[in-house]
Amino acid sequence: MTTLPPRAPLRARRLNRTKAERPLTTKQQRFVDEYLVDMNASAAARRAGYGDRSADQHGSFLTRRPNVAAAIEARLAERRARLEVSAARVIAELARIAFADIGGIMDWSGGDVALKPQDKISPDDRAAIQEIAVVKRAGGLATRVILHDKERALEALCRYLGLFRPGALAVEPPTYSEELRQKLREMIDRKVAERVAEAREADRRAAEAQAQRTPAEGPEG
């Protein structure tokens, strides 16, 4: 019985000398189509018809083959142009989220915290809003505003700017004015006092109601 030697791995150095202008085979074109679905090279290779046992190897190889890589990049460029997406726009959107000012969205100068009118909120601050909802509270209705994750946006910007690399300049944590801190403390203290007063009033009313029911519920003489 003749035993065949194991199949040699794909010779990426030799095969990847293929010119970027070389037309794709039908199977390579299928791989490009599938790769653009989820950007998963191994899964795309399987769906394109490459064997399960060699899908990982073929997927990695195909994404580095010049003509396949050029076809993928061309399709991605078409997608970005169609969606008007660029690196500059993505970074700008991240910056809007990372540096949004809640003071430009909410107003707590009066007795309550309220959402500012739409025309008073800048486009940059509006872009940072994830959700606006009207919720029920003990004293009536209130507006709830949730912003997009500032920390994740800042982290993405830091990675893009290389601030996490070894030797990067240390970044000082943000500071807030004492006036803003004092306003927030006063607002919190006022809300706590209101909740305590509401709880005490509820207890008083419950005690009065119980006192009024007690004679009627007593035993008959």
* 54 and 102 co-located in one domain: no
Total domains in the chain come to 2
For residue 95, report the phi and psi dihedrals to the nearest 5 degrees: -65, -35
For residue 133, report the phi and psi dihedrals to the nearest 5 degrees: -140, 150
* 46 and 113 co-located in one domain: no
Joined together, the tokens standing for residue 205 give 């009313």
Query: Is 206 contained in some domain?
Result: no
Encode pLDDT of 199-211 as tens digits: 777 777 777 777 7
What CATH number does the domain containing 39 carry?
1.10.10.1400
Structural domain containing residue 52:
12-83
Query: Is 196 contained in some domain?
Result: no
In sequence order, the 6+-apart residues with CB closer than 8 A to the CB of 28 are: 62, 65, 67, 68, 71
* 58 and 141 co-located in one domain: no
* 108 and 180 co-located in one domain: yes
* 50 and 26 co-located in one domain: yes
66-98 b/e (C-beta count within 10 Å ≥ 16 → b): ebbebbbeeeeeeeeeeeeeeeeeeeebbbbbb
State pTM to two decimals: 0.44
* 71 and 147 co-located in one domain: no
Q: In which band, very low, low, confident or very high, does the pLDDT at 177 lie, cut at 50, 70 and 90?
A: low
